[in-house]
Amino acid sequence: MNTLSGTELRSGATVPTLGQGTWHMGESASGEAAEVASLRRGLDLGLALIDTAEMYGSGRAERVVAKAVSGRRNEAYIVSKVLPSNASGRKVREACERSLRHLGIEQMDLYLLHWRGRIPLAETVTAFEDLKAEGKIGAWGVSNFDTDDMEELMAVPGGSNVAANQVLYNLDSRGIEHDLLPWCQKRGVAVMAYSPLDEGRLLRDARLAAFAAARGLTGAQAALSFVLSRPGVIAIPKTSSAERAQENVEAAERILMPEDLSELDRLFPPPEGKRPLAMI
């Protein structure tokens, strides 16, 4: 596996299996230059998918992305998310247009409902489909949807056009492996794994450190390689360091052998039954 390998979305687009997250970006003016540099270095390395959201820094993360992709729009696959409070027909349009302004682009490649709220799914899907028809978004998806949510979504008009479901997934949070991940894989819905390093907590895990060292990997590389070993899964780690971006790319180039995955199962056991969908 390498950074040029990709996952084909239901929309027909093929995106890299390793992208870049932006959660917590834009929260400090002093860190912005490093954040922009990290994202641009990621683009240099082929990490075309950049994930953000209107919620992140109240739009400031989207503005960081705008600076990173300035002059390089054709190299980037940009994903943003709408808050559930903005998921009604009129508000979806307003939120999308606001995010496009923040991002400095004319079309978002993928637009996600950040999590379920009180707005009926049918209303949100209709708004997404309208935005797609108008060329404001290339495709749409959801985030933090469990299996029953996905089944309900598929049952509404246009719901089968869902391209992706972004959920928490990492070595220490493997609940989706019981039913949600196989459900999405069977139907061709890409799973975008956010916090694949568990917000850095896995990097302090002695079990992972020993596993990685024995294989000439860093802890981050081992954790990312595990997530990327799953078909149809896209990992979107966030880093504000250009050096860490390079480290992440090297993780995508390392293939874990069956015996490695078995050892990780021993160290970080997979779920034995259904678990509530974990969220951060």
Q: How many CA atoms lie within 13 A of 111 on its CB side?
A: 30
Question: In Å, how far are 66, 80, 143, 166, 235 from 113, measured between CA atoms?
Answer: 21, 9, 6, 9, 18
Angle CA 222–227–231, to nearest 5: 135
**What whole-number distance in Å separates Cα of residue 80 and Cα of residue 103?**
9
- 3-state SS assignment for residue 168: strand
- Binding site as annotated, residues: 114
Residues in the chain: 280
- Catalytic residue (one of 56, 77, 111, 169): 56
In this structure, what token pair is assigned to residue 95?
């939120």
- Binding site as annotated, residues for substrate: 114
Could you confirm whether 56 is annotated as catalytic? Answer: yes
Active site residues per annotation: 56
